Amino acid sequence: MKQQIAKNGFIKIANFFSNDEINSMINDIQIVGSFIGDDFSFIGPDPYKDNNTIKQSQLYDQLKYLPSLYKIASSDKVLNLARELGCGFPAIMKSCNMRIDKPNNMKHLFDWHQDSLYLLGSYYALTFWIPMTPVNANNGSVEVIPGTHLSGIYPYEKISDKSIDKMTYLLQRDVKIKDMSSELEEQKVLIDANVGDVIVFYQMLLHRSTPNISNQTRWTAQIRISDLLDKSYYEQGCPMGEVTNIYYTDYKK
């Protein structure tokens, strides 16, 4: 697996998580979701029957704090896999979260990007992308461009009027990867995965989420792991996206 991810920048491991582990996150979602609104549904085209965007926004903001998410993130299973993939001392980044992707909702899809551009961390920091519902061309999934992690940070540009200093936290609406060549985009791979599978990729890998054109909401979790034994990480002053940004970080191996 280490050789595969080193070459392609990503791997998929089938049946990595048990039903109990996935259900622990779903149960937490249902508890909080139902408290916010008694019309909550995990299965269906919308989390709330009245399509209430305020309730959905409240739910989305709380999902990144669920105990089950961090229980899985700190599990021996996840940390040992990170070590097996070359992470010397895995550390859980603050950027763990969950996504809610409703059918035909394009507003919150991100175009081609590298997580490292926003979240920083060590050079070979990892993203664990965990489906809680099936992901495929119909439900939408994650699309990657193999091998792009080997080129460091791609040229980027500021697209908002946010002023930047060393402590500025940048989001996808502030900075984006510059237009890529059509030849590079033609190498894209859409990853199909089932509940219980895990997709692991380097934060340096170019990837994007694809539209959900089904009639059910797509639910996924993201765990992010940095390496505290990466010498270059310390040489740069231990950059993390919540305390600094890419304009003050020079990613060099």
Q: Return the C-alpha torsion angle 127, 128, 133, 134, nearest 10.
A: 90
Say what the pLDDT of residue 245 is. Answer: 95
Q: Which residue has the tokens 């003050």?
A: 248
Q: What is the mean pLDDT of the chain?
A: 94
Structure tokens belonging to residue 169:
């936290």
Reference 207, options 122, 94, 102, 126; nearest CA is 126
Q: Out of 75-79, 124-128, 154-158, 179-183, pick the least confident.
A: 179-183
More confident residue, 165 or 105: 165
Say what the pLDDT of residue 183 is. Answer: 87
In this prediction, residues 131-135 reach a mean pLDDT of: 97
| Sequence-distant (≥ 6) Cβ neighbours of residue 56 within 8 angstroms | 46, 47, 48, 100
In this prediction, residues 16-45 reach a mean pLDDT of: 96
pLDDT band at 199 (very low <50, low <70, confident <90, very high): very high
pLDDT band at 52 (very low <50, low <70, confident <90, very high): confident
Q: What is the spatial distance between Cα 4 and Cα 9, in angstroms, rounded to a whole number? A: 7
In this predicted structure, the answer to whether residue 27 has a pLDDT above a threshold of 90 is: yes
In this prediction, residues 101-125 reach a mean pLDDT of: 91
Q: Which pTM does this prediction carry? A: 0.95
Which CATH number among 3.40.50.2000, 2.60.120.620, 1.10.760.10, 2.60.40.650 corresponds to the domain 2-248?
2.60.120.620
Reference 143, options 196, 194, 210, 201; nearest CA is 210
130 and 220 Cβ atoms separated by less than 8 Å = yes
pLDDT tens, residue by residue, 228-244: 999 999 998 999 999 99
Q: DSSP string covering 76-103, please?
A: HHHHHHHHHTT-SSEEE-TT-EEEEE-T
In this predicted structure, the answer to whether residue 253 has a pLDDT above a threshold of 70 is: no
pLDDT band at 41 (very low <50, low <70, confident <90, very high): very high
In this prediction, residues 110-115 reach a mean pLDDT of: 93
pLDDT band at 115 (very low <50, low <70, confident <90, very high): very high
Count other Cβ atoms within 10 Å, centred on residue 182: 7
Instruction: Tell me the domain boundaries of the chain.
Output: 2-248
pLDDT tens, residue by residue, 90-112: 999 999 999 999 998 777 788 89
Q: Which residue has the tokens 């600094």?
A: 244
Q: What is the spatial distance between Cα 8 and Cα 19, in angstroms, rounded to a whole number? A: 28
In this prediction, residues 159-171 reach a mean pLDDT of: 92
Sign of the dihedral through C-alpha 105, 107, 111, 115? negative
pLDDT tens, residue by residue, 203-221: 999 999 999 999 999 999 9
SS3 of the chain: helix, strand, coil, percent, to 5 = 30, 25, 50
